[in-house]
Structures are given as C-alpha cells and as structure tokens.
Amino acid sequence: MSDHTSTRAVHAGEEKRKPYGALTTPIIQTSTYSFANTAEILDFMRRKAAGDRIVRDEYGRYSNPTQSVAERKLAALEGGEQALLFASGMCAITTTFLALLSGGDHLVMVSDSYHRTKEFALTFLNRWQIETTLVQIDEPTALVEAIRPNTRLIFCETPTNPYLRVMDLSLMVRAAKECGVTTVVDSTFATPINLRPLECGVDLVIHSATKYLAGHNDLLAGVVVGPYELLAPIEKARGILGGVSNPNEAYMLLRGLKTLDLRVHRQNENGLRVAQFLEQQPAVHRVHYPGLPSHPDYETARRQMTGFGGVVSFEIEGDLDKTSRLIDRLRLPYIGPTLGGVESVIEQPAMLFSLDPAERQAAGIKDNLVRYALGIEDADDLIADLNQALAGIA
C-alpha cells in the first residue's frame, strides 16, 4: 500500500474484487451468521481458541464484514496494527477505560479535556475505586509528579477542546514509559492527516469518528487504534458491553474516509486564514489556534503536527449577550455542538455547557468564547461573513 495518506484513505482495508463485482464495499445487513454444519462450528471454535485472527464472523455484536473493512482502513490511516469501531467516540473512551483499569488503579488525565470524558472519570470510575488526577497540559513537572505506583493510564486530548492546547507527546511518552504506564490520546481534533500519535510512541489513539473521519454530520461512531495485545481486552469488553457500530454506519464512515485527506487539507487552510483574520480584528480579544505564533503551544504544534485543523476558538471584546448577538448575525455556519463536517458549525460553549455562571467559570468556559468549526466552504466567504457579523455588534 502507498505511503501517501490520500491513497490509503481511498484503498486501504478494502479488497480489490468485492462481492458481486461491486465497486464499493457492500453493507452486510445481518445480526447473525449461520454455519453449514457442526463440523464448521468445531473448526471455527478451534481456530478461535488458537488465536487465529482471521476467524469468520459469528454474531453482530462481535463483528461484521462492513465494520471490519472500516477498521482495517482506520488502522492503516493511523499506522496501527488493529482498529476497533464503536457506537460513538465516548463509547470508545469509556470501554477503553473500563477494559484497562481496575479497582485501586489510578488514571492521570489532562484537565483541558472534553467535559463528558472528565465526568466519566471523576464520577463513574470513582464508584469503582479508580482515582483520577487532573493535570494542566502545560505543566510537565505536574504530569510526572502525578504518576504513582498504581497509575495505569495517562490520557489526553491533542489539540484540546475548546482552547486547542497541544500536548507535547514526546514528553508524555517519555514520562509514561519510564514508569510502565499506558498512554492514550484522543486525536479527534488532529485527525491522522495532521498527527499520528502512534508514531510518537503513544500506545493507543482514539477518535470520535463522528467528526472529521466521517465528515458529513450524519453518523455516530468511535474508534480505538493500537497494537493487538493492548486492544485484545478492549475488544472483549466491547463484545460484552455491546457498544458496537452497525453496518450502515460503517459503510457511511467508509464513504467519508475516502475524502478525508482532501477535506482536512481544505479545513486546515480555512482554519489558518480565519484565525489570521480574527487576530487582526479590534472586536476580538484573543484567538486560540495552534497555527498562530501567538498560541502558547505554537512551537510544539509546528514540530509535532503537519496541519493545525479546522477549529478556531476566539474570545470577543464583550459579554455573554454580545457574543450571542455575534453568533446570531452569522449567515453561513449552522449553530450546534459538533465539528469536523463539510458544513461550518459554530457555537457559544457557555450557552450549551451550563446556564449557571459559576459552573461555567469553574470549568474554564468563558462567556465571550466562540468555537468555530470550519467546513470546506470558500475561505473568502467565511471571512466576509465574519466581517459583517463583527461590524454589526461593534
């Protein structure tokens, strides 16, 4: 297979000759798989017991041919041995935690992570005596000091949501390997086009495939990629907990992945141009984008990433209401809590996080913060729309 990501996105994981001569991988719409006779069952069970990875499908909660093709393509894109597809990104994260952590274990998590991920760690895992320590992304000493003898996982996002902080993966990996700790990175914002954490020494990489990987705001899915050995308990847990994807969504994900390289490069271009425009506007207090020299992690991002993504967060000169007026004046983006699709989507995180100002402040969500997930529209049109909206609230 080619070393070029664009070629892998189109062809990796798929057989050249597909059933019935179809050009695209078909949807295998079945919940179970029949056996010809008892001898075939015995052969299947013997091969499964021997650890044969090329065992035929048995039941839809464990695998599906369409799902398996999507998993092979995702593994190829991330450079991993295996990928596991889940019903959502959160399902991928929670199943990974449950499979790799036990009572009495300790988890280190970067504090600037998705609030639902933190909520799961601090509430659900805590019920099973799994303690979580939150550390700041820009405090390497704190990360090292947080590791204990019972620490089993270090988890981070990069870039983070919504402030787009970038973890120095070489530092995290070095600290973890010295202590025998497994590293897990949520790379949803980066995509395998801009960053491949496994190549940096990270053990497992997770994506909300709902976002950039699928790219069309029309499905929910998650994926974990890594070595067979580490994924084995996660795969077993998926079969027990039941958080599987389905063949229709696996097919739609395959379709979206074929244009991943094209879409992300366009979104990288849009992100940088919009961030540069916003940084020059008097009505904008601060822009958060790792492709700008003003970003605190610019040097890390430039060294570690090949592109900076399509999400730009910024703070305007104003309060909650003024920020809402800006959002409402924009004509091109949809208003909603997602990112990574072909359509631009914008949100005022404070409005969707909590109606309680104290809760927003505690979570670091500023009232004047805007998260703009840029699609593949023309950058000139996106900038013109922002220009008129900013002029209207001056």
What sign has the CA pseudo-torsion 105, 108, 112, 113? negative
Catalytic residue selected from 105, 112, 168, 186 = 186
Q: How far is CA 284 from CA 206, 260, 323, 374, in A?
A: 33, 31, 10, 18
Residue 116 annotated to the active site: no
Point out the catalytic residue in the list 8, 73, 112, 114.
114
Q: How far apart are CA 89 and CA 111, in angstroms?
A: 18
| 61 catalytic per annotation | yes
Residue with the two structure tokens 């670091």: 364
Helix 89-100 vs helix 228-241: crossing angle, to nearest 10 = 110
The span from the CA of 184 to the CA of 173, in Å, is 10
114 is catalytic: yes
Query: Is residue 62 annotated as a catalytic residue, yes or no?
Result: no
Pick the catalytic residue from 211, 238, 360, 366: 211
Nearest to 91 by CA among 203, 231, 209, 195: 209
Q: Residue 250: how many CB atoms within 10 A of its CB?
A: 26
- The two beta strands, 222-226 and 82-86, are antiparallel
Q: Residue 117 belongs to what H/E stretch?
A: helix 115-119
Partners of 185 in beta bridges: 156, 205
Residue of 43, 47, 61, 148 marked active site: 61
Helix, strand or coil for residue 226? strand
E-only strand ranges, the chain: 82-86, 106-110, 131-135, 151-157, 182-186, 204-208, 222-226, 284-288, 311-316, 334-335, 345-347, 369-373
Which residues are known to be catalytic?
61, 114, 186, 211
